Amino acid sequence: MSATKRDNLLWHTAMVQRSVRKLLDDITEDEAFVTIGSSPNHICWLTGHIAYTTTLRLRCLKADPGTPAEWMELCRRGAPTPTDRAAFPSFAAVRDQLYKLYDLADRASADIADEYLDSEIEPIPKWKERAANYLAFFLTHDFYHAGQIAMIRRELGRPPTFG
């Protein structure tokens, strides 16, 4: 029996979301605001940025999760990372929002048709692409940022999360 495109999407989604959860589950509020090297991005911002792209991914799946507009602006691509911790919601709130988005993504992906995954969509103005490619792009993007979180975890003295 061959896997459908949806089956592949579900596998990729589960793998990325499980990995990100593993990186975030035990992070404390103080650890969430640590930066390393010359990067201004801390785990709280990175988590918010993953929530931002998960919101975009959900929109590609025809779901609007109602992510707060101010969070979308705070954590969008190219947004300056505020140095004032008070500019952010608590890390726990950001992480909880991301996990809610993950649950919505699981439900929205469960019934998506291969025909839809093959269709061309334009959720980002002037960027038309197959729905499957958008979804794969956002998941790959999130895994890239998971690597940044893993690096900060190592700086915090945490053992490797994988391997």
| Residue 68 belongs to some domain of the structure | yes
Domain count, the chain: 1
| Residue 160 belongs to some domain of the structure | no
pLDDT, tens digit, for every residue of 83-121?
777 888 999 999 999 999 999 999 999 989 999 999 999
| Residue 163 belongs to some domain of the structure | no
Q: Is the dihedral of CA 139, 68, 31, 101 positive or negative?
A: negative
| Residue 37 belongs to some domain of the structure | yes
| Residue 113 belongs to some domain of the structure | yes
- What local confidence, expressed as pLDDT, does residue 82 receive? 66
| Residue 121 belongs to some domain of the structure | yes
Q: Please give the angle made by the CA atoms of 53, 59 and 60, to the nearest 5 degrees.
A: 90
- What local confidence, expressed as pLDDT, does residue 151 receive? 94
| Residue 54 belongs to some domain of the structure | yes
Contact (CB, 8 A) for 47 and 24: yes
- What local confidence, expressed as pLDDT, does residue 39 receive? 84
- For the record, the structure tokens of 94 come out as 């950001």
pLDDT confidence tier of residue 75, bands split at 50, 70 and 90: confident
| Residue 162 belongs to some domain of the structure | no
Name the strand (E) or helix (H) holding 153. Answer: helix 131-155
CA distances 76 to 56, 73, 119, 134, 152, Å, are 11, 5, 26, 17, 20
The answer on pLDDT for 1 being more than 70 is no
What percentage of the chain reaches a pLDDT higher than 70?
97
67 versus 50: the higher-pLDDT residue is 50
- What local confidence, expressed as pLDDT, does residue 96 receive? 96
The range of the structural domain enclosing residue 27 comes to 5-155
d(CA 46, CA 49): 5
pLDDT, tens digit, for every residue of 10-39?
999 999 999 999 999 999 999 999 999 888
Question: Residue 162 class from Cβ within 10 Å (0-12 exposed, 13-18 middle, 19+ buried)?
Answer: exposed
User: Mean pLDDT in the chain?
Assistant: 91
CA distances 59 to 79, 104, 122, 129, 131, Å, are 20, 11, 10, 14, 10
- What local confidence, expressed as pLDDT, does residue 70 receive? 84
Q: How many CA atoms lie within 13 A of 66 on its CB side?
A: 2
The domain that holds 40 is classified in CATH as 1.20.120.450
- What local confidence, expressed as pLDDT, does residue 74 receive? 79
Region 157-161: mean pLDDT is 87
Three-state SS for 38? coil
